[in-house]
Amino acid sequence: MPRRLSRSILLGAALAAAMALGACRDTGKGEGKLFEISGKIFVFNYRLARATYVVTLRPLQPMGEGQVVVASFQNPAGGAPLVVEQKVWPKLNKVSLESPALTCVVKDKPYAIAISIKGPDGAVLQTIDTTLMSTEDQSVLPDRPLVIDQLYTANPDLAGHPDGKLPGEPKPDCSKGM
């Protein structure tokens, strides 16, 4: 009987421990992740002849005052990453990050993105690493913007070239990004 009793006590203790651990699991509140990626895309703006990364983060818990998101985008042309810093506005339901204009984007190549969420004191609260692949090559863009102002005035440099491609236009050196 003592052996059966000790087995029951051991089983009961294991069950209680499992329930306690289950109660401690991260539900997205408290000390868990602050943000998750809700969207990421390459944006090819044909009218402006430019490509950019766009990443959107969704908060998983209330955002704090003074938080900052820093995104480091791999530079498709090679060289140093492109770094963007965005203040977190606690009343908004998302944080959108857009890179500066890119050159040398290649179709189906994964590009690295590293995101850090920092507190008001500069301490890193969360990091997110991801990649993004383009479904298009940057060569689909015109050589110059199709319009030159807010009134969408046609770019006079492209007169006679409705496709936006200029013969003899110098192309960016993309050898470092390969």
Instruction: Label residues 64-88 b or e (16+ Cβ within 10 Å = b).
Output: eeebbbbbbbbbbbeeeebebebeb
Q: Judging by beta carbons within 10 Å of its beta carbon (0-12, 13-18, 19+), is residue 125 exposed, middle or buried?
A: middle
Residues 99 and 73: their CA atoms lie apart, in Å, by 7
Q: What is the CATH number of domain 35-164?
A: 2.60.40.10
| E strand spans, 18-163 | 35-45, 50-59, 68-73, 82-87, 95-98, 110-118, 124-133
Q: What pLDDT digit, counting tens, does each position of 7-57 carry? A: 444 444 444 443 433 333 333 333 579 999 999 999 999 899 999 999 999
Q: What pLDDT digit, counting tens, does each position of 87-139 carry? A: 999 989 999 999 999 999 999 999 999 999 999 999 999 999 999 999 999 98
Residues 15 and 13: their CA atoms lie apart, in Å, by 5
Q: What pLDDT digit, counting tens, does each position of 73-100 carry? A: 999 999 999 999 999 999 899 999 999 9
pTM for the model stands at 0.76
- Parse the chain into domains and list their residue ranges: 35-164
